[in-house]
Each structure stands twice: as C-alpha cells, then as structure tokens.
Amino acid sequence: MTETPATAAVSAHVVKKFMYINRRAPHGSNYAQEGLEVALIGAAFAQQVVIAFIDDGVFQLKTNQDPKAIGVKNFTAAFGALADYEIQKIFVEQESLSQRGLTAADLMPLVYEDPDDEGAEKQMIHIVDQRALADIIAQQDVLLNF
C-alpha cells in the first residue's frame, strides 16, 4: 500500500514548541492550577513544552506555600511532576521577581536528571530578564496565557 500525501501528513508526528505563560498568583482563581495541568497534558502528547512565570505568576513557584488558611488546596507540589513529563525549562522573569521582593532563593528547587550528563541533576528554573524572555517567546510556535 502506498502512502498518499494525506496519510503521510497524518502519520508524521509534528512536534510544536508550546510555551505556557503564567501571569497570575497561585490562589484566588483557577488559572494557575489549570495552566499547570494543561502544560502537563501538552507534554504528555509529546510536544516541546516550556513554561514562563511573569507578573504575579512568579508567586506560583514560591517555596513552602500553605493556603489552608484561605481554604484552598495546595496544588504546588504538582510542580515536582514536571520532570516526569520531560518539561525541563522554566523561565522566570527577573523584573517580576524583583518587583515582588523575591529572589531565586525564594523559589522551590525544581530539578531534572540529565541522561546526557550521566543522570546529573540540572536546574529547571532559569531566571531571565525581560529582553531574554522576549527572545524565548519569539522562538515558540504556540503561546498559551494563564
């Protein structure tokens, strides 16, 4: 059986570069949790996924969150699953951190094991300035804002 152009297009797996941009605080709306879930789903379908945190979205990565007092479930432990889905690049805008009184030390430690480097643990979080983030955004095929 010969392959037609239509069947070739269906059988060829096209990988797109997806960037999930998180702009909102972790609690008070569903955006943060849904953004994380959608990123994991995209990665499960073998798309190239990167995540960016800007504005109040940087609070999503703050370590030791405990939202019990406001009656909200803490979903931030799910960020630990990113490496299992081969999401290895998380970009955090430096200006957003600074404006909110945060530093890299305030963020949860997210790492992955690099098979190309004998399983060495590598940092997933990369702090970048606005200009570098704009360049990274320009390289993506699909942008989703949360």
Say if 131 falls within a structural domain: yes
For the stretch 64-89, pLDDT in tens is 888 888 888 888 889 999 999 999 99
Whether 8 is in a domain gets the answer no
Question: What is residue 1's three-state secondary structure?
Answer: coil
Q: What is the DSSP letter of 33?
A: H
User: Looking at this protein, which amino acid is placed at residue 34?
Assistant: E
In this prediction, residue 10 carries a pLDDT of 45
The tens digit of pLDDT for each residue in 33-68 reads 999 999 999 999 989 999 999 999 999 999 988 888
Q: What is the CATH number of the domain that holds 75?
A: 3.40.1260.10
Domain that holds residue 99: 47-146
> Tokens at residue 43, please?
């990665």
9 domain residue, yes or no: no
- pTM of the predicted structure, to 2 decimals: 0.87
Beta strands in 4-68 (DSSP E): 17-22, 48-53
When divided into structural domains, the chain yields a total of 1
| DSSP secondary structure, 77-135, as one string | GGGGGTGGGT--EEEEEHHHHHHTT--GGGB---EEEEGGGTTEEEE-EEEE-HHHHHH
